[in-house]
């Protein structure tokens, strides 16, 4: 575990793990889903799932305590898509429990997917 914490690949490994958990969640629900990565010139969001024209926005962060700054791209994409088209938005992290980062974005752990 200590080697993982100090690895330059830990963020990519966490992101892949979050993707696999999202995929498992969708397979368990037997739903057809589409997942996208979104970016513009200065921002990116790890996962955007399409639920028939409404979206869930997910950012994966290895940290246990994400900051409001780490939710900024999620918040930006929510405004860009239009609030009525976003079902939920979260920063998936290693926090021990769910808590709000902003009025519309929560920090969640894998159990909250």
Q: Please, what CATH class does the domain formed by 2-112 belong to?
A: alpha beta
Residue 26 pLDDT > 90, yes or no? no
Cα gap 106→101, rounded to integer Å: 5
Query: Per-residue pLDDT tens for 11-22?
Result: 999 999 999 999
> Strands 99-100 and 86-92, how do they pair?
unpaired
State the pLDDT at residue 35: 86
DSSP-assigned beta bridge partners for residue 50: 34, 55
Query: Per-residue pLDDT tens for 45-90?
Result: 999 998 888 999 999 999 999 999 999 999 999 999 999 999 999 9
Lowest mean pLDDT among 2-6, 29-33, 74-78, 95-99: 29-33
List, as own/partner pairs, every contact residues 72-76 make where C-beta atoms lie below 8 angstroms and the sequence separation is at least 24, other chains included.
72/43, 73/43, 73/44, 73/45, 74/45, 74/105, 75/102, 75/104, 75/105, 76/43
Residue 41 pLDDT > 90, yes or no? yes
Domain borders along the chain are 2-112
Residue 2 pLDDT > 90, yes or no? no
């Amino acid at each position: 575990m200590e080697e993982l914490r100090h690895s330059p690949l830990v963020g990519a490994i966490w992101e892949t793990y979050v993707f696999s958990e999202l995929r498992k969640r969708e397979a368990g629900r037997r739903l057809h889903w589409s997942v996208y990565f979104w970016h513009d010139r200065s921002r990116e969001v790890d996962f955007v799932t399409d639920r028939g024209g409404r979206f869930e926005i997910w950012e994966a962060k290895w940290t246990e305590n994400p900051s409001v700054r780490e939710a900024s791209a999620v918040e930006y994409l929510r405004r860009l898509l239009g609030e009525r088209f976003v079902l939920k938005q979260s920063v998936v992290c290693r926090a021990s429990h769910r808590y709000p980062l902003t009025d519309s974005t929560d920090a969640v752990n894998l159990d909250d997917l």
